[in-house]
Amino acid sequence: MEKRKAQVTIFIIIAIVIVGGAVVFYSFRDSIVGEKIPVSVEPVYNNFLSCLEGKVLTGIDILESQAGWISLPDFEPGSRYMPFSSQLNFLGNPVPYWYYVSGNNIQKEQVPSKKEMEKQLEDFIEEKINKCVFDEYYEQGFEINQGLAEARVSIREERVDVSLEMEMSFEKGEDSFVVKNHELEVDSKLGMLYDSAIEIYEKEQKDLFLENYAVDSLRLYAPVDGVELTCSPLTWNADEIFDELQEAIEANTLALKTKGGDYSLRKEENKYFVADVSVDGDVRFVNSKNWPSSFEVVPSDGSVLISKPVGNQPGLGILGFCYVPYHFVYNVRYPVLIQIQEGKEIFQFPVAVVIQGNKPRKALSVSAVEIGVPELCKYKNTLVDVNVYDTKLNSVEAEISYDCLGVICDIGETESGSLAGEFPQCVNGYVRAKAEGFEEGKYLYSTTETGGVDIILDKLYKLDVNLNKGGNAIISFVSDEVSKTIVYPEQKSVELSEGQYEISVYVYKNSSLKLVETTHEQCVEVPQSGLGGLFGLTRKECFEVKMPAQIISNALSGGGKENYYILESELAGANVIEINAASLPTPKSIEELQNNYILFEDMGLDVRFK
């Protein structure tokens, strides 16, 4: 009996399991084996899945073209000091920078994580999926209803998985079909391209390899520091330097490669342009001279870089030769767009390349680093009315800034010549007004209280320069406020405004002056060694100083100086400024060359406006 009871119990348990399994099967049969789509409804549902795939591919394309963003971060404009906004305009489309420097000089990052990209793609699908078109099927008698959508996205290396919960019902005649869950796998290298982009970006932030290439280009295509044996000044045109540097940066940036993708290191000469980072996909680095950039150099006189010789001044005859040392400091800022391609897919993101004082910027280790942002400019709480006029009291549109203790804060632009702006509080700062076609104006003003400022700007007039002497010349117009220098005859025009100027002209002509190599003995007193040195005893130590041989191909041959007050009426009524300078004898020795500089100090100029 006990055995029979046990057998009955087992049968009862088995029956319960079978019944329970059947209940579960019929309750969840759609998710276990899938509900069969009626033949008449199948084309409509396939159309929906195709539409869903299209929306996903569109979202992926936006993510790849906009540096991982569908909804762009808040736009932040640049400034005259930092040309970058928070987005690069690439072929008319905004691409958010992953690294940039804001207009108020703060380093910033806006790199999306993969989870942020997934969330943006989910939101995009939920927003766009209800815009699928079924007009063709409505005409065939279908009735289609869509519920609320909730998407889930997973970005993988070579595909994007999409799970969409949205109830859809299809009816036509006696056929009907309801589906809630829609699963889709979309072939895409988005995940792989993003991982490669992150690896390149982290390499740049750690090693600053783009900045190092920029420094090499700077030293190769621009005068940075050095010494040349010559007795005439060295001059460079800053605009020409920057144009050549921009072209070099554009070409050299495009030549950069990485160790991954299809690039080969078979050619030894190409290794310089290979960044030490290996990633999947083909990588391109792109720069354009038409993109926002900034080039600054000091010291400079307007658009001219001048370095004066040492050794031809009175009292330095002991040198026996002339040389020109030069050292220029550059700040260079420009964008680079990095593109990673696999097949037809391209993921791209821009970064700002920054050279400060001939050196790469400091590597960034956090999401936003302050690099000397002026505290003064953060707190603008004094209202000041600024009015800008020309000398005839006509309103002038100008950019207004405030300069206090070397810190310059942007205030804004005038409308109809006026601006009511908030200024930071400062004692004895300068309100500055800058307008095209006018000399920059400034007004000493303390912003501790509200008030008003009127600034009158002097109009600039462009005149041709005509010098009576042949040869090369350096012509300078120096006033208390501004300095204008041109290298004649390469430059034959100058922009001047009314004011008191010291006009100076240095004329240089070809010379055959030869300085032979000389050696002379020079002695100095040095402390004695041992006990005598402790008591301040010295001994004489002599050594030979060798002066190198030198051929002076250009020597001072004329010129002079003149103080002249230029009236606006003279500028407005003339097209040419004519300068007549006196001549100097051709020097045959270093002493005669130095004597020319002594004579030059007493020579005047004849200046006429025509």
H helices of 425-575, in order, are 531-534, 568-572
- For residue 358, give the DSSP letter: T
- Model confidence at 7, pLDDT cuts 50, 70, 90, reads low
Report the candidate in 206, 218, 201, 209 with the shortest Cα–Cα distance to residue 332: 218
Q: Phi and psi (nearest 5°) for 158?
A: -125, 15
Which region among 2-11, 253-262, 338-347 has the lowest average model confidence (pLDDT)?
Answer: 2-11
The Cβ of residue 219 has, within 10 Å, a number of other Cβ atoms equal to 14
Q: Which residue has the higher pLDDT, 289 or 315?
A: 289
What pLDDT was estimated at residue 501? 94
Per the model's pLDDT, the better-predicted residue between 542 and 341 turns out to be 341
Q: Name the strand (E) or helix (H) holding 233.
A: none
Closest CA to 459 of 570, 317, 298, 609: 570
pLDDT tens-digit series, residues 34-85: 456 777 778 888 888 999 999 999 999 999 999 999 999 988 888 766 788 8
Q: For 144-156, what is each residue's pLDDT tens digit?
A: 888 888 999 999 9
Position 426 pLDDT exceeds 60: yes
Burial class, 72, CB count within 10 angstroms (exposed 0-12 / middle 13-18 / buried 19+): middle
Between 370 and 60, residue with greater pLDDT = 60
- Domain 376-457 in this protein, CATH class: mainly beta
Quote the strand ranges of 302-398, DSSP E: 304-307, 324-327, 329-342, 345-356, 359-360, 368-370, 380-390
**C-alpha distances in Å from residue 279, one per residue of 204, 327, 373, 428:** 13, 40, 36, 56
Q: What mean pLDDT do residues 448-477 have?
A: 91
Mean pLDDT check: name the lowest of 106-120, 225-239, 253-267, 540-554: 540-554
Residue 384 sits at φ, ψ, to 5 deg, of: -130, 130
Domain ranges of the chain: 1-34, 37-73+110-185, 191-370, 376-457, 461-609
Beta strand 483-488 with 472-478 is antiparallel
How much of the chain exceeds pLDDT 90, in percent? 47
Q: Tens of pLDDT along 596-608?
A: 888 888 899 999 9
Average pLDDT, the chain: 83
Lowest mean pLDDT of 224-228, 323-327, 540-544, name the range.
540-544
Instruction: List, for residues 175-202, the tens digit of each pLDDT value.
Output: 778 888 889 999 999 999 999 999 999 9
Give me Rg for the CA atoms of the chain.
38
Question: Nearest to residue 328, comparing CAs of 245, 439, 440?
Answer: 245
Please give the pLDDT value at position 24: 43
Q: How confident is the model at residue 261 (pLDDT cuts 50, 70, 90)?
A: low
pLDDT tens per residue, range 465-513: 999 887 788 999 998 888 888 889 888 999 999 999 999 999 988 776 6
> Parallel, antiparallel, or unpaired: how do β-strands 87-90 and 345-356 relate?
unpaired
Q: What is residue 367's predicted lDDT score, i.e. its pLDDT?
A: 39
CA distance 428 to 280: 58
**What does each C-alpha distance from 359 to 238, 330, 353, 367 come to in angstroms?**
19, 9, 11, 22
> pLDDT class for 515, splitting at 50, 70, 90?
low
pLDDT(463) > 60 = yes
Inform me whether the pLDDT recorded for 445 exceeds 60: yes
Residue type, 1: M
pLDDT band at 373 (very low <50, low <70, confident <90, very high): very low
Q: What is the DSSP string of 29-53?
A: HHHHT-PPPPTTTHHHHHHHHHHHH
For residue 221, give the H/E element and its range.
helix 209-221
Please answer whether residues 386 and 413 qualify as being in contact, where contact means their C-beta atoms are separated by less than 8 angstroms.
no
d(CA 178, CA 191): 33
Q: What average pLDDT does range 213-236 have in this prediction?
A: 88
Following DSSP, what letter does each residue of 131-146 receive, concatenated? G---HHHHHTT-EEEE
